[in-house]
Amino acid sequence: MVNLFIKCQEFAVLTAVAAIWDVWQGEIFSCAIITQPATPSFAPLHDRMPVSLTLEQAKRWIDPTENAADLLNEFGHASVALTERRISKSVNNARNKEDPIFIDEAA
């Protein structure tokens, strides 16, 4: 298994994705990332990928006056460009909390 760090090429730090959330039984907060079929460039990694959003799309996505289904149809299957790089397998072990270089490129 290869560990990858995947991020949006457009943003320096953040990648915005479409997601939904709810509070269940008044106390459990839950969230789910909305996925779509993978683009040709992402398909070698996985058959599905998040619906990634531009900054303008993200602003509209969190606007409570917008209809989420209409936005997904409008955004289509377009996705912002993603980039990936290999990272250390240390990230797979929850005991490795002291390693600050999890997202550094693996040798």
What is the percent of the chain where pLDDT is above 90? 26
Question: Which runs of E-coded beta strand occur in the chain?
Answer: 4-8, 16-17, 19-24, 28-33, 35-37, 48-50, 52-53, 82-86
Pairing state between β 82-86 and 19-24: unpaired
Specify the pLDDT at position 52. Answer: 84
- In the structure, what pLDDT confidence band is assigned to residue 12 with cuts at 50, 70 and 90? low
pLDDT at res. 102: 61
0.85 exceeded by pTM: no
pLDDT at 105: 58
